[in-house]
Amino acid sequence: MLEVKHITKYYGNNKAVSDLSFTVKDGEIFGLLGENGAGKTTTFRIIMGLIEANSGEVLLDGKKIDYNLTDKIGFVTEERSLLTKLTVLEQLTFYGVLKGLDERTIEKDIDKWLERFSIASYKNRKIKELSKGNQQKIQFISAIINHPKLLILDEPFTGLDPINVKMMKDAIYDLQKEGCSIIFSSHQMEYIEDFCEKLVILVKGHPVVSGDLKTIKEDFGIKNIMLRGDDLPLLKLEKVKGVISVSKVRGEIEVKIEDKIVAPKIFSLVKNCNITKYDVVEPTLNEIFIAKVGGIHE
């Protein structure tokens, strides 16, 4: 289990991370969101022990993270951290041995993972000769070759096509089943919604939203009602108290409301319009992110 307790980090006078706390249990996938420069990389670096926080602490299974514990952590960085002049085998061996694995026995594991990601034929090819997608797979394998207790994934799906994304997702779920704690960061909110039960959104180092995704959506208040029917009274709908907006989305009418208590009023207005669809849906994480992050910018 990873425990991040009240960490704060300054770069000069700039507060990069401010009083950030969260816990990632074994087998849990946790989302760390934020726009560029929000403090995600600094948080990852603190967890990896690359830099020290000015205050607070990070514990993995109750122990302060040191060079012995980082052997149990896998890290996929946002930019590809590969030595492009090495071959695939050399690169994976290099990171594997640095993670404490035995140089003489590591090749079996490497073969297994290369096979699983359908890139076994590239084993002796130089990294620079591979496509971006294949390089991303190598980076992912290098992060999980040590069977980590904690896996940090910063934009892991960059450059991958849907088939390879699925391949990688399956691998992540397998690691989750093995009890690996996973921190996931991405600007693609659909991935976060797919993976994470818990998350934190950082804005300029401050956690502005944190907790369980379901609760976050409920607490967000704003709901969407999706309508399909004949002669819907759009002007009347707009004038209802508590309606934020009415718009056309993919052939349907989307009514954005401030709270779910507004929903019955909308229903009473449209019930005689031959409606074929009336659906109250939760807001997307994207909407929450834009509302929270954008709102602070405004």
Summarize as ranges the residues that interact with another protein (CB under 8 A): 12, 45, 48-52, 67, 70-71, 73, 75, 77, 79-85, 94-95, 97-100, 103, 142
Q: What SS3 state is found at 226?
A: strand
Kindly tell me which of 97 and 263 has the beta carbon lying closer to another protein.
97
| Smallest distance from another protein to CB 20, Å | 19
The C-alpha atoms of residue 128 and residue 58 are separated, in whole angstroms, by 36
Long-range contacts from 118-123, C-beta under 8 angstroms, 24+ separation = 118/167, 119/88, 122/88, 123/87, 123/88, 123/89
| Smallest distance from another protein to CB 81, Å | 4
Q: What SS3 state is found at 286?
A: helix
| Smallest distance from another protein to CB 150, Å | 12
Kindly tell me which of 13 and 121 has the beta carbon lying closer to another protein.
13
| Smallest distance from another protein to CB 242, Å | 47
Kindly tell me which of 45 and 147 has the beta carbon lying closer to another protein.
45
Kindly tell me which of 71 and 287 has the beta carbon lying closer to another protein.
71
Kindly tell me which of 70 and 164 has the beta carbon lying closer to another protein.
70
State the first-to-last Cα distance of the chain, in angstroms, to the nearest integer: 37
Q: Which residues contact 201 (CB under 8 A, 6 or more apart)?
A: 33, 34, 207, 208, 209, 210, 288, 289, 292, 293
| Smallest distance from another protein to CB 2, Å | 15
